[in-house]
Structure 1
Amino acid sequence: MKRTLIHALCLALGLAPLALVGCDEVSQRDVKNDREQLAQEKEETAETRREVQKDIADEQREVDEVRHEAMKPTIDEHDRETIIAEQRDVEEAKREGAERIAKEEQQDREAAAELRKTEAKLALQQERDAYVKNVEGKQKLNEAQIENVEERGETLEGAALDQNQAEVKELRSRQDRVDDALSDLKSAELENWKTFQPAVEEALAELNADLNGDVNPAVKVDTADGVKVKAPGLDLDIDLNNE
């Protein structure tokens, strides 16, 4: 299949699975293609069975014709050998037919296994993408709160301003840690993405612990256009529904 060739190209170039777009990702189109491939394999198997049955029937008919012609008081050696030869042809047709059908059935099983693999991979990919989107939404909320803290610093002076700037610096550092952990998760091999999830959750928890002390947090607001974020004291309106 096309994606198999792409993956082989990635390996040939010495690239990690996600180094090129399409090297590790699957889509609904891939599932559709695999389903069509399975249907095609099943149709080929059915066609092979029909051909085998016809071949056996043709050989058996020749045997019956020879036997009918040989129905006389005495059967000479030639007739006897002809009947035996025709019967061998029937058995050979059955053997070859069984081999052809077995080969087609094996291809059916392989196509079905590929479909199951693709469906499972797509489900895992969708689960990961939903988690990433959720964390990115949280980061939008966090960004609104951090900007709120920065905004308050504009009215401060001296030690209070220094403290505000230090707080913002620490918040930005923790925010970057979340982004870095999420980036590692997104670039990980699909089957391993959950092993990176604890690092993201830990970074989020640390950032949230600092933000929980903020007296002027951003809040989520349900609007007619969807869920948005508004930070009190700031001219800020973030649409969480956007990617």
Structure 2
Amino acid sequence: MSFRSLGAVVLDEIISAKGKTLVDLPGGLGVFSTLGARIAVSGEGPTKLKSIGMFVLDGGEFPTSPKLRSTLWDWEISLLFRLVQPRSTTICEAQTGGSLGPNLKDRGAGNYGMGFIVIRSVEHGCLVVSESYPLRWFPQFHTDKSKLTDVRGSGSAFLGAFALMLGNGANPTEAAIMGTVAASFAVEQTGLPYRAGFNDNTRETWNRVEVSARVAEYRARLGDA
């Protein structure tokens, strides 16, 4: 299965609790869901890497930066940039209330109710359930909250990895494990994690950690080794 993101790619501005302003930080569903999918194929060959793609609107209310473009190209994925002109945009947020009820899994999801329901709670982890998969809670990878530097995009990173794994035939447990690991890399810094590519002596790493090693650690912690 290939992964293609049509989500927004934006530059965020953040004001920290200490009043420091950080600008031009990569953000948006497009960036972080693609990051998650890319982490899920870490260590794979060029064909798998090119199966991950992102459509990027560039300009107007979706400006990119040379640094962001360079980072995305460094991921060695398929990229398509389209220049757009500035225009007026109105963003509306919908809010819902009430309880999902005690029979959440009986509501089903997707075609014929055969999909999965995933509920993310940033610092706590996620819940996965479906008609055929019993409710299971997956704790966040980082047990030390000091590791949570910037939680923007962690849910999208989880989504990208989870969706790609399911699409490639993984069971929900393996998909949730990879999603949790992808999210763990997204929160460790302000912005995007640092990737080091292959050479003659080392494997690909993100923030100087091999994805496979973190997956093994998390799986062992869950008792799924």
Both structures adopt the same fold (TM-score exceeding 0.5): no
- TM-score, normalised on structure 1? 0.21
- TM-score, normalised on structure 2? 0.22
Higher helix share: 1
Larger radius of gyration, structure 1 or 2?
A: 1
